Amino acid sequence: MLQKLFIQNYAIIESIEIFFSKKLNIITGETGAGKSILVGALGLILGERADSSILFNAQQKCIVEGMFLIGGRKDIQQFLAENDLDAEKEIIIRREMAANGKSRAFINDTPVNLSQLKQLTSLLVDLHQQFDTLELGDNDFQRAVIDALAGHSAQISKYQALYREYSNTQKELAALKESQANATKESDYNKFLFKEFEDIQLKENELEALDAELKILGNAENIKSTLSKVSYPLNESDDPVVQQLKSLANLLQSVQNFHPGIPALINRFQSVQIELRDIAAEVENLNDKLNFDAERIQWVSDRLAQGYKLLKKHGVQTTAELLVIRDTIQQQLDKVLHLDTDIAALEKQAAGQLKEVTQLAKTLTANREKQVAPFEKQTNKLLAQVGMPNAGIKVQITAAPLHIFGADAIAFLFDANKSNRFEPLKKVASGGELSRLMLCIKSLVAASVQLPTLIFDEIDSGISGEAARQVGIIMKDLGKAHQVIAITHQPQIAAKADLHLFVYKEEKKGKVNTQIKVLSDTERVDAIARMLSGEKPTITALENAKEMMTS
């Protein structure tokens, strides 16, 4: 509930502070005194936009601050937690407007943006102004009314969870089918590409190895001649180098006992001799194995030509990169084969989910249909009370494709003159009719759900007498469980107030300034009598005012 509202430097308000009751708060005052200005100021903390033209004093900033008691409202606690805001029993919302037109918003002294402000205050305040009835003609609002009366929020939550799962499965299935369609288009080309890899049967690093082999084969004669020239002096000449080293080592052995450094030299000669003998053997081995092979050269050349063709085609440089491409194509081909299986599994899953969701949707439909007759009866009764005895409302529930709220399309149809021609609300109901209808509906819904603070700004325009009294009775009943704030010109409604606030203007230092005060019982009698008979209330008007307040 809105416990306190502080307004400073707004329009013709210099500074006022208003404390509200938790029940029915009525605001009255002469035309132009500033009653609707209060609603305009309240609109600032509800996230509405404003500019510096609203400043009472152009040199100072405007401040509007509201203090709300939230009790145990879980939706508000959740909002505070999700936005890292302090969770207290009280919420203080403040909006500041500077002279340059810039504004700032705060929730419990923490800066927030307008989106966050609107999201929170939509949970705290339901502001209903004259002709502000577009919501009533909205099908989502109409469905929400029937759902509130049905009291099946837990079943709706369960349905929505399953519906989201079903929708996600449908999206996944559609994506798979699209992938399958695309893959099928590419499949023939991929098969052609993969056949090229299958035909050549490349092995790891094969092209690099063949390239090296071709260099050897192409230079075989030159390499073999060179190896022979190296091998001859090592092993085959009249005085081979290996044998010379052996002889030199033998010479040193004859004097090794006469000098301590000679044994080390002998060891080194022997090591060189062993290494040189090994080199000579390797040279001979290479020479023996190396032969010019024209057929092998042709085969390697043809193989490399195939490989180079694939390298160029796929824009890569190595055998390893070609093998990666081959594996990728294989995976794509395998994927096409697996898609049929995956799609079949998802279709089976979706069918099961659809069956469950459809069954829950039928339950929701049945719950809603049970509320139609009582809702129509109660609403039509209330319409008669508020001065619309010939008006009637009819709820139309028709089958619709599955959506987030079930499988129903709900529409409120209206007949203002017992013509038995019911049409959609937005087409046939006038602004005044919609205003009273909205009051009737909210009074019915209030018994089923926790509504925020309800604010009515002169929605009683165009009615008087008994109809106005009945509107007052409805507001009074509504105020028993919910905080209601209403601006009115009707004495019959003002008489029902739990707290009566009177708005008036006074002049200070040449400036007109709006003030507000809480009326005592005696002051209320006088104020209501003035609303009945004018500036100087008659004795009859005073007696009528007293009777209105007690009846």
pLDDT tens for 30-69 read 877 778 788 888 888 888 887 777 788 878 889 999 999 8
Complete DSSP assignment for 59-86? TS-EEEEEEEE-TT-HHHHHHHHHTT--
Amino acid of residue 262: I
Q: Report whether 307 contacts 206 (CB < 8 A).
A: yes
* pLDDT above 70: residue 135: no
Report the range of poorest mean pLDDT among 280-294, 512-526, 534-548.
Answer: 280-294
Strands (E), 56-165: 62-69, 90-97, 103-107, 110-112, 125-129
Q: Is 496 helix (H, G, I), strand (E, B) or coil?
A: coil
Tokens 């013709």 map to which residue? 12
Query: What residue has token string 């590419």?
Result: 186
pLDDT mean across residues, the chain: 85
Q: Could you tell me how many helices (H) and strands (E) the chain has, helices first? A: 17, 15
User: Domain containing 199: what range?
Assistant: 177-338
**What average pLDDT does this structure show over 423-432?**
74
Lowest-confidence region among 195-204, 227-236, 248-257, 364-373:
227-236
Query: Is the same domain home to 212 and 105?
Result: no
Tokens of 277: 């003998």
Q: What is the pLDDT of residue 125?
A: 82
Residue 150: pLDDT band with limits 50, 70, 90: very high
Percent of the chain surpassing pLDDT 90: 26
Q: Does 411 fall in a domain?
A: no
- Supply the pLDDT for residue 424: 85
Q: Give yes or no: residues 74 and 220 share one domain.
A: no
Are 195 and 329 within one domain? Answer: yes
**Distances 32 to 503, 504, 505 between C-alpha atoms, Å:** 10, 9, 9
Give domain status of residue 116, yes or no. Answer: yes
CATH number of the CATH domain containing 27: 3.40.50.300
Residue 272: pLDDT over 70 = yes
Residue 314 lies in a domain: yes
Same domain as 333, residue 234: yes
Entry pTM: 0.64
Residue 271: pLDDT band by 50, 70, 90 thresholds?
confident
Rounded CA-CA distance 433/427 in Å is: 12
Residue the block writes with tokens 């106005």:
468
pLDDT band (50, 70, 90) for residue 413? very high
Q: Is residue 381 part of a domain?
A: no
Alpha helices by DSSP H, listed for 290-318, are: 294-314
Work out the average pLDDT over 98-112. Answer: 88
Q: Average pLDDT, stretch 164-171?
A: 95
d(CA 452, CA 441): 15
Task: State whether 16 and 125 are in the same domain.
Answer: yes
Query: Is residue 103 packed enough to be buried (19+ CB in 10 Å), middle (13-18) or exposed (0-12)?
Result: middle
Instruction: Identify whether residues 113 and 211 lie together within a single domain.
Output: no
Tell whether the model's pLDDT for residue 130 goes beyond 50.
no
pLDDT confidence tier of residue 375, bands split at 50, 70 and 90: very high
Compute the chain's Rg from CA coordinates.
47
Instruction: In whole angstroms, give the CA distance from residue 219 to residue 215.
Output: 6
Tokens of 504: 């008036």
